[in-house]
Chain A
Amino acid sequence: MKTSECDIVVVGVGGQGVILISNIIGKAAMKAGYPVRGAETHGMAQRGGSVISHIRLGCEFGPLVPAGGADILLALEPAESLRYAHYLSEDGIALVNTNPVLPITVTTGQSSYPPLEEILAPLQRICSSVKTLNATKLAAKAGNPQAMNVVMLGALSKYIPLLEDMLIESLSESIPAKFLEVNRRAFALGKGEVE
């Protein structure tokens, strides 16, 4: 028996804005009348480490999406999409920003960063669909590479049971007014990319 209407896992690197867009989704879902449960990474891992945020729409149980249960994996960084791929359900969809952020283990030469195809191959094997976009580049096109997370939010908007208006309203409440235009453009570019 299903215990959540839509389970989303947002992953990335500390500092990319994983928590911000998770909260935008959560607030929009609340406006839409859904019970919402979420769980965030705070503290040590935020210092450039690997981070994961869970959002469960239409759920009144615990805040953690179970492994194998995510309807959507929203990855703000390619390597992180593979690190958390086991959260995806067989029917799940992965949305992946293709722009890598090199971890300290790579910049200092202890490890190497795998090619994008090698990262995506296992994802394509285990879920129903993998959509890729260079959200960092699209954000730069929108006017600020920092808005990459909102490009990804725009792409996500095509796949979740929430109206775009509610996401935009929730976005406007969550960021300073002077950044709103850039972010609206970023959202539209992300959405357009997966259409």
Chain B
Amino acid sequence: MLDTLQEGIIVKEYLLGNAAIARGILEAGAGVVTGYPGTPASEIVEAAAYFAKKDDLHVEWSVNEKVAVEVAIGASWTGTRAVAVMKHVGLNVAADPFMTLAYTGVRAGLVVIASDDPFCHSSQNEQDSRRYAQFACIPCLDPADPQEAKDMCIFAFELSEKLELPVLLRPTTRVSHARADVEAGQIEEGRSNPEFLKNPARWVMLPVHARPRHTELLKKQDRVRAALSDVPWNRLVLRGELGIIASGISGLYAEEAIKQLDTDISILRIGTVPPPDELCSEFLRHVTKVMVIEELEPVLEEYVERLARAQNPDLEILGKRSGHIPREGEFDSLTVRNSIAEMFNLPVEEVLSLKEAKEILPPRPPALCPGCSHRATYYAMRKAFGKDAIFPSDIGCYTLAVPMGTIDTCLCMGASITVASGIRFGGEERDICCSIGDSTFLHAGLTGLLNAAYNKARITVAILDNSTTAMTGHQPHPGTGFTVSGEKTKAVSIGALAKALGADFVETVDPYDIDATIESFKRAREFQGLSVVIAKRACVTNARRAGIKRRPFMVNNENCNGCRECVEFGCPAIEFDEDNARINALCSGCGVCAQICPSNAIKVVE
């Protein structure tokens, strides 16, 4: 995606927003890039890693987001520009270092990138990371498109150094996963004379140091506002006395709507939190009625309400509080156009609703891939535990197995083992078998397993080890033996970890061997204590990419009695034609259906 870029010349490339951000990181001369995969942020670290071998740059997939931010902090305190990248909920994991980092401040520029996901395209919530910046009293930049995201990223490092504060860059899905023609510049050298300078009053947050640092942070707020007062991403066009204030990508939607409606509406576009006081005051004095347009939380709207009390007390403010702008989901130019049209009493454009689309179309939810080992693991789990057992689960591809009846909970990274423990301690007496993927286990499952062992939780933990972080695009992790740039490294044994954390029963099975997996789960269920079953089999997509080919399977119609046992297994490669099952071209040759067929009707294609 960045392979045609060359150093030293300015070229335009059709770049993914995340690749543009990676480009910004490198052009700013960052020396350390950290992060944990998560949609919609994953490609930033991957694109940065592309250059790691050529440049003086450390890029890593960190074990989790808290680790990522802390590693970046160490680099910054050593005088090297650093960035930590994550999805919005990753910032919850990193919130502990993030909040106190605002007190200590930084040396070399430190940027935290948290990509938000309005509409929960691929997330468990749609929290607004701008609130974190407000909470921590640090500046936040809110890009509207890939070019802005790249330019803001470079500016963020400069701003961070100027203020000695971390800066939050907050793209959203429609910036991270947008593509646009982006101007690429020159890549800077990463490090200049790095050295950690001892300074306990800054870097040791004892209460005696933390109190004055908090005072210092609050004093800095005037400088924060001043530094953001004239950035190019806050821009004003004064026309008529009706106005729009819009933040980030909503500003682009509003500009498009204004052009389509051909009105003389005034517009103020905002790309920073906090917004610029003088520009906003000028705007609020000019208009008589204003609509505040931003996705998710009313961050800008609350600011406008506060500012209007001093600048224009009679101003009519439309937004989330007045019910004109939704506080959930994502926008597009049509929803924004209609909101503006309503404000002007112009006709709104109805979205065509085709009754056929609702009536005749079969739903197409995402599903586990044909040959996915998770399906086999869950099948065996159900056989061994029965449908009455409780099945807490976690974040990953395997959450797609909800129709199999083995996903009873999914809350956040690592919450399978801990929620399972709580269900036991809360008084549930039925069998409990929770499931967690390998990458998620290493990210946030270790402490949960340790807690379960220490506090004697009688549960079974299934670790679904497909040797990758599959859902976010097959990133390596500490169990795989490879780094982000493909270099060999230590491969940590999940089985040894489970034993070291205190599990007395640890078995590793191949889920493609269904009988052996069922037997292992049965032994785990009977075990009077904490039992761990590691279902280990490489992700079928990765195996295919590595060139591993298995012969596909077929149904012998003479033996098939149409019992549908294989169909209920739920593999997309198995269909049902009138009386018999049929295996389609999607078959990956895992052979699990052949093992579960009671009539021995499924055979390998010779």
Query: Which listed residue (A1, A39, A49) contacts B364, Cβ 8 A?
Result: A49
- Chain A residue contacts of B354, Cβ below 8 A: 82, 85-86, 122, 126
A45 nearest in chain B by CB position? B366
Q: How far is the CB of B472 from chain A (nearest CB, A)?
A: 7
- Chain A residue contacts of B42, Cβ below 8 A: 42
B179 x A23 contact (CB < 8 A): yes
Query: Which listed residue (B179, B351, B352, B364) contacts A26, Cβ 8 A?
Result: B179
- Chain B residue contacts of A36, Cβ below 8 A: 14, 179-181
A85 to B178, CA, bound (A): 22
A47 x B337 contact (CB < 8 A): no
Tell whether A141 is near chain B: CB-to-CB under 8 Å: no
B359 nearest in chain A by CB position? A114
A103 x B122 contact (CB < 8 A): no
List residues 59-96 of chain A with CB under 8 A from any CB of chain B.
61-64, 66-69, 79-80, 82-83, 85-86
A86 x B174 contact (CB < 8 A): no
A43 x B39 contact (CB < 8 A): yes
- Contact flags B1-12 to A (C-beta < 8 A → 1, else 0): 000100000001
Size category of the binding interface on chain B: 35 or more
A119 to B333, CA, bound (A): 28
A40 nearest in chain B by CB position? B177
Q: How far is the CB of B258 from chain A (nearest CB, A)?
A: 10
- Chain B residue contacts of A80, Cβ below 8 A: 364
A105 to B574, CA, bound (A): 12
Assuming the A-B contacts A27-B14, A66-B337, A105-B362, are A37 and B179 also in contact, with contact meaning beta carbons closer than 8 angstroms in the complex?
Answer: yes
- Chain A residue contacts of B196, Cβ below 8 A: none
List residues 1-27 of chain A with CB under 8 A from any CB of chain B.
1, 3, 13-14, 22-23, 26-27
Assuming the A-B contacts A43-B472, A48-B366, A68-B352, are A38 and B180 also in contact, with contact meaning beta carbons closer than 8 angstroms in the complex?
Answer: yes
B369 x A48 contact (CB < 8 A): yes
Q: How far is the CB of B354 from chain A (nearest CB, A)?
A: 5
A15 nearest in chain B by CB position? B369
- Chain A residue contacts of B570, Cβ below 8 A: 104, 108
- Chain B residue contacts of A42, Cβ below 8 A: 39-40, 42-43, 122, 177, 473
- Chain B residue contacts of A83, Cβ below 8 A: 357, 361, 364
- Chain B residue contacts of A107, Cβ below 8 A: 567, 572, 574-576
A43 x B122 contact (CB < 8 A): yes
List residues 7-31 of chain B with CB under 8 A from any CB of chain A.
12-14, 16
Tell whether B549 is near chain A: CB-to-CB under 8 Å: no
B352 x A47 contact (CB < 8 A): no
A160 to B437, CA, bound (A): 45
A103 to B567, CA, bound (A): 13
Assuming the A-B contacts A64-B174, A104-B570, are A82 and B356 also in contact, with contact meaning beta carbons closer than 8 angstroms in the complex?
Answer: yes
Tell whether B419 is near chain A: CB-to-CB under 8 Å: no
Q: How far is the CB of A118 from chain B (nearest CB, A)?
A: 6
Assuming the A-B contacts A26-B179, A107-B576, are A44 and B333 also in contact, with contact meaning beta carbons closer than 8 angstroms in the complex?
Answer: no
Q: How far is the CB of B287 from chain A (nearest CB, A)?
A: 23
B367 x A48 contact (CB < 8 A): yes
Query: Which listed residue (A37, A39, A86) contacts B352, Cβ 8 A?
Result: A86
B18 nearest in chain A by CB position? A42
A90 nearest in chain B by CB position? B352
- Chain A residue contacts of B351, Cβ below 8 A: 67-68, 86
Tell whether B256 is near chain A: CB-to-CB under 8 Å: yes
Size category of the binding interface on chain A: 35 or more
Tell whether B365 is near chain A: CB-to-CB under 8 Å: yes
B122 x A62 contact (CB < 8 A): no
Q: How far is the CB of B100 from chain A (nearest CB, A)?
A: 31
Assuming the A-B contacts A62-B253, A82-B354, are A45 and B179 also in contact, with contact meaning beta carbons closer than 8 angstroms in the complex?
Answer: no
B330 nearest in chain A by CB position? A64
A81 to B42, CA, bound (A): 29
A50 to B174, CA, bound (A): 18
Q: How far is the CB of A48 from chain B (nearest CB, A)?
A: 5
List residues 549-581 of chain B with CB under 8 A from any CB of chain A.
564, 567-568, 570, 572, 574-576
Assuming the A-B contacts A27-B14, A62-B249, A108-B568, are A79 and B179 also in contact, with contact meaning beta carbons closer than 8 angstroms in the complex?
Answer: no
A44 x B352 contact (CB < 8 A): no
- Chain B residue contacts of A108, Cβ below 8 A: 403, 567-568, 570
Tell whether B334 is near chain A: CB-to-CB under 8 Å: yes
A39 to B332, CA, bound (A): 12
A66 x B332 contact (CB < 8 A): yes
Query: Which listed residue (A38, A66, A82) contacts B334, Cβ 8 A?
Result: A66
- Chain A residue contacts of B368, Cβ below 8 A: 47
A46 nearest in chain B by CB position? B366
B256 x A3 contact (CB < 8 A): yes
B179 nearest in chain A by CB position? A38
Assuming the A-B contacts A43-B40, A102-B575, A122-B357, are A79 and B362 also in contact, with contact meaning beta carbons closer than 8 angstroms in the complex?
Answer: yes
Tell whether B121 is near chain A: CB-to-CB under 8 Å: yes
A98 to B260, CA, bound (A): 35
List residues 91-142 of chain A with CB under 8 A from any CB of chain B.
102-114, 118-119, 121-122, 126
B121 x A45 contact (CB < 8 A): yes
Tell whether B307 is near chain A: CB-to-CB under 8 Å: no
List residues 421-476 of chain B with CB under 8 A from any CB of chain A.
471-473
B14 x A105 contact (CB < 8 A): no
A13 to B369, CA, bound (A): 13
List residues 328-355 of chain B with CB under 8 A from any CB of chain A.
332-334, 337, 349, 351-354
B362 x A62 contact (CB < 8 A): no
- Chain B residue contacts of A143, Cβ below 8 A: none
28 pairs from A and B in contact (CB 8 Å cutoff) = A30-B13, A30-B181, A36-B179, A39-B178, A40-B178, A41-B121, A42-B473, A43-B121, A43-B122, A47-B397, A49-B366, A62-B144, A62-B249, A62-B253, A63-B145, A64-B333, A67-B334, A67-B352, A79-B362, A79-B364, A82-B356, A83-B361, A86-B351, A103-B364, A105-B362, A107-B567, A107-B576, A114-B362
With A39-B179, A44-B471 already in contact, 4 other A-B pairs whose C-beta atoms are closer than 8 Å: A1-B260, A30-B181, A62-B144, A108-B403
Which A-B residue pairs are the 6 nearest by beta carbons?
Answer: A43-B122, A43-B39, A49-B366, A111-B362, A38-B179, A66-B334
Interface residues of chain B, those whose CB is within 8 Å of chain A, are 4, 12-14, 16, 39-40, 42-43, 121-122, 144-145, 174, 177-181, 249, 252-253, 255-256, 259-260, 262, 332-334, 337, 349, 351-354, 356-357, 360-369, 397, 400, 403, 471-473, 564, 567-568, 570, 572, 574-576, 584
